Amino acid sequence: MKILMLTPYLPYPLLSGGQIRTYNLLKKLSHKHQITLFALIKSEEEKQYVKELEKYCHKVRVFKRSEKPFTLKNIFKTIFSSFPFLVIRNQAEGSLEAVRREIAQQDYDLIHAETFYMMPHIPACKIPIILVEQTIEYLGYESYAKKAPFFLRPLLNIDVRKIHHWEKHYWQKAKRLIVMSEEDRQFIGKELNKEKIDVVANGVDTKWFAQKPRSLNSQPTILSVGTFKWLPNIEAVDFLVKEIWPIIKQRVAKAQLLIVGNAPTSKVISYGSNDPQITVAGRVEDIRDAFQSAHVLLAPVFSGKGTRYKILEAMASGTPVVASKIAVEGLNIKDGQDVLTSNKAQELADLTVKVLNDKNLWQTLSANGKKFVSQHYDWELISQELDKIYQEIGDKKI
């Protein structure tokens, strides 16, 4: 089957959940389909990674968007546009015309768009479109707007309403909508026919994570993971450091907090500067090193929907997980058996300390996590679910 895939990022290197997902699905499906990838980039340096993607794609083309989001041009265009900032920020000169020429010259069976804000890059056509929503964008921005300074809230609320409008518009326009969990499906199903919504969850390369042997730090180490280009991750680290960490430090004197994730903000970096027991590592070359050295992953995420990579990767590594309930939402994990959850700072601290002090509990969570992920969330299984949808939609091409 001939597929045109559009992504708002180059799916390599693996710095974000979106990149991890797209790269692994390309890798697993490349031998079944001829996939052409059109991707947005922010800098010319990213072109060096195209060769890696050409291993799995028939053709790769990239289009440059603005390197920094908050440019005067982007802000000015957003003010006078019906599109939200998120769409304007992801516009790339020449991409719409390039897609128009591509589908006119090639007989594609379907178009696969990652995120609703890639949909404006697709001209009117009769080719079936699959839209993948890795998260429900307006919910994340809505949460951010509520916590923003009061003088910014009116502007942010206008943009949130724009996001919601266009997300819903493109959900309806797509032939099929793919989401990350049954909870996301039920939520969107309030505004869209559930029959056109499919769940294709995120996954893990379990064999790759198993290749790295465990090498625990000498001091009890709590790990926080997440790219800081996603607002819920910033909120989670703030909550962890301010509300949970002081309790843990008081009870485990030598505890260390390791914060890992691409593009840490200046505020996140300051946490490491102000506390000798906190290390802000930022981006790491091999995420397995972080998981295999830590005693527990702590993930107090309270907003946003979509990807759950930090949870799945920790489990694949055999690292016990303590998390908020929304952080494991949609994974069908058994609380108390596979992970430990709570939404309160005191309880999250108590559970973390319990894992650090109880060797039997640590070993049980480690073993159960590995088993659970290998049985339900390996990329081989996940890619088969997406392939079924490809086959169904492609076979019904008009």
**CATH code of residue 32:** 3.40.50.2000
Task: Tell me: do 367 and 326 sit in the same domain.
Answer: yes
- Name, in order, each residue with C-beta under 8 angstroms of 282's C-beta and a sequence gap of 6 or more: 260, 261, 262, 263, 264, 269
Same domain, 14 and 88: yes
* Statement to judge: residues 82 and 212 lie in one domain: no
Tokens of 206: 């379990």
Owning domain of residue 241: 206-376
222 and 360 together in one domain: yes
245 and 278 in a single domain? The answer is yes
192 and 211 inside one domain:
no
- Could you give phi then psi for residue 102, rounded to 5 degrees? -60, -45
Residues 31 and 60 in one domain: yes
Rounded to whole angstroms, the Cα distance separating 356 from 319 reads 11
Cβ count near 364 (within 10 Å)? 16
Q: What is the pLDDT of residue 398?
A: 44
Same-domain pairing of 259 and 324:
yes
Domain count for the chain = 2
pLDDT tens digits, the chain, 398 residues: what are they? Answer: 999 999 999 999 988 889 999 999 999 999 999 999 999 999 999 999 999 999 999 999 999 999 998 899 999 999 999 999 999 999 999 999 999 999 999 999 999 999 999 999 999 999 999 999 998 999 888 887 888 888 889 999 999 999 999 999 999 999 999 999 888 999 999 999 999 999 999 899 999 998 988 889 999 999 999 888 777 888 899 999 999 999 999 999 899 999 998 889 999 999 999 999 999 998 888 999 999 999 999 999 887 655 578 999 999 999 999 999 989 988 889 999 999 999 999 999 999 999 999 999 999 999 999 999 999 999 999 999 999 999 999 865 54
Does 247 lie in the same domain as 144? no
In this structure, the answer to whether residues 234 and 192 fall within a common structural domain is no
pLDDT at 144: 79
